[in-house]
Structure 1
Amino acid sequence: MLKLEDVLRAALIEEETGWNMGSFGAIAEFHHVQGDPAPVPQEDLAQVTSRGGVRIDRLKGVIPVAYETLSPKPHRWTQAVSLCLPQEQAAMAQRDVLTELGADVGALRQEDRKAVLFDMGLAQFQVDFCIRTADSALLEILRANDGRSLFDHDNPAMGAILKAHPHRVALTRLGRVEVYQLIGGPDTGGASPEGPHTHVLPKLLKARRTHSANAPIPEGLVPCCGLHPENPVIGRLGEEKAFEQPAFDRFQTLLQAWGPEAYLAGKNSAWAGLEAGILAQNAEEPDTRVGRAGWRNGIRQWRLLQGDSALLSDWAITFDRDSDQADPENPRH
């Protein structure tokens, strides 16, 4: 039986594993950058680099949900483990205006604990999405606009934030992710920097959703932290890579222990049908959304595990055709 703490400790020193905390529209991510010093074990469940860090403060009541999602590219898939809490335990402050919170005494690094934390006021259910700064000029602007929405058209605070690049801190009931790198935008050539970074997408924030509809989180649970173990077909920057069976096998162990039953049943059913040589016209795909995702990813994975064939191509043409279950591909989101 898998022990969650052991899985997390191992993942925290795995360079290929990414982490995030946030919601659908506001997310802070922590990833190791190739060439940086290798992560080392910490006394607590944490990892910190010069670019950012993650810490998990609570395991009590956590329900892990492992899952695979469909990629728009028919030979790939994404995978993750969401650390979830029951909805009533996951709620954060949900402030909708910029709010000063005081010194960040819980910061990952000692040198950041006197800097001032501000809730950005994004009103997301399971995350208080914050910025942290000791910059006197930025503090003056933030304090002058405390209690106002950052999205007010005449509020200068958002522009000052984008110019000053303060630390971003995502707080959930399970812990925090901190990002020290520049905010993606004009100063970074329009792209997020490699490694730890954040996304705040106002259009998605309006939906007030805790997660993507394609993440099979059981009803009544809310994802408060995500980990993304090494993907067997996608590199850490989203590039193609040759299929890595060990990485595939490692995640299948997590999926078998913590994956949705309907997904596992769908994938196993597809594999059984292909193993038996059943023609696509005689095969019956699952009748649930989650089951169909497992069925379709099962077809994709069978090609890598067993090789191509006329039978498999017929299955792929028949069943792996819909785009409604695929998110825009980002292996770390």
Structure 2
Amino acid sequence: MPELQQVLKDALMQEDCGWNMGSFGAIGEFHHVYGDPLPQEHAGLVQVTSRGGVRIDTLEGVRPVAYEMLSPKPHRWSQAVSLCLPQEDAAMYQRSVLTALGPDENALRDEDRGAWLFDMGLGQFQADFCIRTADPELLEVLNEHAGRSLFEQGNPAMGAILKAHPHRVVLTRIGRVEVYQMIGGPDTGGKSPEGPHTHVLPKLLKAERTHSANTPIPEGWVPCCGVHPENPVIGRLGEDKTFSRNAFDAFQVLLGEWGAETYSQGKQAVWDLLKAETPTEEAAEPTTREGRAGWRNGIRQWRVLHGPDQLSQAYAERFDRGAEQADPENPGH
């Protein structure tokens, strides 16, 4: 049985593992960049680079939920472990206006602890999405307009933030993600920088959801941190890569321990049929949504594990038809 603390400790030392905190519409992500220094050993559950960092402060009450999701690309699937808290324990402050919080004494790096933290007032349930700065010009603007919504017409604070590129700090009940790189936009050629970055999407924030409806989080639980172990078929930049059997096997252990039984049953059922060379007309997919997702990903994984053949092609054509809608929090993967 995998022990959560050790799984996370190991994951923090793996270059191909990504992390995020936030909610549906605003999220902070931490990833390693090819060519950067290797992950460093730290006391506790923390990893930090010159571009950003992540820290898990407590695992008390945390339930890990492992899952695989269908990709819009038929030869792929995504995978993650969400660290969840009961809804009543996950709630943060849900401020709706720009709010000064004072010096960030809990910053990951010593040199950032004198800089001021401001809650952007995005009103997220399980995350306080903040910026941090020691820039006198930006501080003047932020202090002058504290108490106002950043989205209020005529408020110059958001423009000043986008121009100054302060650190972004996403706080949850179990830890934080920090991003030191520039904010994606005109200054970055219109795309997020490689490695740690943030997304703030006001249209999605209006939905007031804690997570994407496609993410199989159990009722009454809220994801406070996303852990994305090395994907066996997708590289760090979202590119196709040579299948990694080690990465696949490692995640199957977590899925078996922390995943939904109906999903795994759906996957095992189609694997058994393919192994027995059962014709498609004798096969019946599961009746539950989770079971069907396991069935479809099972077909994809069988074709990667055993190589495509006529039978698995027939299963794919009958049961894995049409691309899933891309997850707005993970487009194109």
Tell me if both proteins adopt one fold, taking TM over 0.5 as the criterion.
Answer: yes
Output the amino acid matched with 2:261. Answer: E
User: Where do residues 285-304 of structure 1 align in structure 2 (5 Å cutoff)?
Assistant: 285-304=285-304
| Partners of 1:99 and 1:146 within 8 A in 2 | yes
Q: Are the equivalent residues in 2 in contact too, given 1:12–1:47 (CA < 8 A)?
A: yes
CA distance, structure 1, for counterparts of residue 121 and residue 59 of structure 2: 27
Aligned to 1:241: 241
Report how far residue 325 of structure 1 moved.
5.8
Q: Matches of 2:66 and 2:259 in 1, distance apart?
A: 5
Alignment of 1:52-201 (within 5 A): 52-201=52-201
Equivalent residue pairs, number: 333
Aligned to 2:152, what secondary structure does the other structure show? coil
Partners in 2 of 1:20 and 1:331 — Cα distance? 15
One-letter code aligned to 1:5: Q
2:209 paired residue number: 209
- Superposition RMSD on alpha carbons, in Å? 1.4
Structure 2 distance, partners of 1:67, 1:80, is 6
User: How far apart are the structure 2 equivalents of 1:78 and 1:206?
Assistant: 26
The aligned residue for residue 12 of structure 1 is: 12
2:281, 2:136 → 1: CA distance?
Answer: 68
Q: Residues 88-114 of structure 1: CA distance to partner in whole angstroms, max 9, x if unpaired?
A: 000000011111111111100111111
Cα distance in 1, alignment partners of residues 327 and 47 from structure 2: 28
The one-character-per-residue Cα deviations of 1:225-250 (angstroms, maximum 9, x if unpaired) are 01101011001000111111111111
Contact 2:72/2:332 (<8 A) preserved: no
1:123 alignment partner AA:
G
Is contact 2:326–2:332 with CA below 8 Å preserved after alignment?
no
Inter-CA distance 173–94: structure 2 relative to 1 (3 Å threshold): same
Give the C-alpha shift of residue 322 in structure 1.
Answer: 3.9
Matched-pair contact (CA < 8 Å) for 2:70–2:324: no
Calculate the TM-score normalised by the size of structure 2. 0.98
Amino acid aligned to 1:94: Q
SS of the residue 1:211 aligns to: coil
Q: Is the 8 A contact 2:212 2:329 kept in 1?
A: no
Q: Flag structure 2 segments of 5+ consecutive residues without an equivalent.
A: none
* 3-state DSSP of counterpart to 2:270: helix
Could you tell me whether the CA contact under 8 Å between 1:228 and 1:332 is conserved in 2? no
**Residue 228 (structure 1) aligns with:** 228
Contact 2:125 2:210 in 1 (8 A): yes
In 2, are the aligned partners of 1:130 and 1:169 still within 8 Å (CA)?
yes
